[in-house]
Amino acid sequence: MKLSLKTSMDFLQATILGLVEGITEFLPISSTAHLILAEKWLGLASTEFVKTFTISIQLGAILSVIILYWQKITSDILIWKKVLTAWLPTAIIGFVLYQLIKSFLMDNLTIIAWALLLGGLILIIFEMINKNNRKLQGATDFTKISYSQAIIIGLAQVLAVVPGVSRSAATIVGGLLLGINRQTIVAFSFLLAVPTMLAATVYDIYQQGASLGGENIGAWLIGFIVSFIVATVAIKFLIRFVEKHTFMAFGIYRIILALLIFWWWL
């Protein structure tokens, strides 16, 4: 389906994209894929501003994690040592592949659809195999995560440089495969998002920050504020959701969305 593309963004469009970012950032369904699809649905051209907007409004989601976990992240430096250890693989790969990611992967609906589809199948198969180990097991305990496990979780997160994979899905499933309980790996995934998204945002703003100036700054601020508010609610929702439910529903949703992409756009 071909749409008439707009080169500017109004406040309503910025609000919608902020909502999409806030809702999807921490759920295992790929916020990047949803933002790209939302941009196409809104008829926005893939300009440098739109690409940078998509990446940089993640700052709102980052702020929500920092506020919600402020007491925990300031009480023990060991937590951040493990978080930064997990972040290193993504930092290296993301820096090396920055141009490829932004110029090719970010606009490739075929890759996004396949990533959503395969990721959904993996979530469903994983939950079927682990049907006897689905609920949270005890309180959050980051001391249970070793440095070697942190590196493996970080390597799993590297897969999320491909739009559609989902950073949270990769890290959560990676942690569960290592035997880390759900409450701990979900919370660790939230914290790992801080350096991951912060680095990606800062580097992108350094590269393309000029595109956020002038008439675009108002739209960016709207997107940032909305993503912060909605991400705060989404984090609390996911924590409550996994107490009683599996990730099976997210897997089914990913498959349905992938099929819709194949049918509607491809």
- Tell me the pTM: 0.86
> Does 1 map to a domain?
no
Q: What is the pLDDT of residue 266?
A: 61
Rounded percentage of the chain residues whose pLDDT exceeds 70: 87
**H, E, C per residue of 83-124:** HHHHHHHHHHHHHHCHHHHHHCHHHCHHHHHHHHHHHHHHHH
Task: Give me the amino acid identity at 185.
Answer: I
Helix (H, G, I), strand (E, B) or coil at 6: strand
> Does 54 map to a domain?
yes
Task: Give me the amino acid identity at 139.
Answer: A
> Does 2 map to a domain?
no
> Does 248 map to a domain?
yes
Cβ atoms < 10 Å from Cβ of 164: 30
Read off the tokens for 19: 């909502």
> Does 59 map to a domain?
yes
DSSP label at 57? T
If 0-12 CB within 10 Å is exposed, 13-18 middle and 19+ buried, where does residue 205 land? middle
> Does 93 map to a domain?
yes
- pLDDT tens per residue, range 88-134: 998 898 778 767 676 667 778 899 999 999 999 999 999 998 776 55
Instruction: Write out the residue range of the structural domain in which residue 173 sits.
Output: 11-264
Q: What is the pLDDT of residue 72?
A: 81
What total of structural domains would you count in the chain? 1
Spatial distance between the Cα atoms of 170 and 212, rounded to a whole number of angstroms: 30
> Does 192 map to a domain?
yes
| Nearest CA among 186, 172, 196 for reference residue 237 | 186
Spatial distance between the Cα atoms of 104 and 180, rounded to a whole number of angstroms: 35
Query: Which residue's structure tokens are 């040592």?
Result: 81
DSSP label at 166? -
- pLDDT tens per residue, range 43-102: 888 787 888 888 889 899 999 999 999 988 888 888 899 999 999 998 898 778 767 676
Judged against a pLDDT cut of 50, whether residue 1 lies above it is answered with no
> Does 6 map to a domain?
no
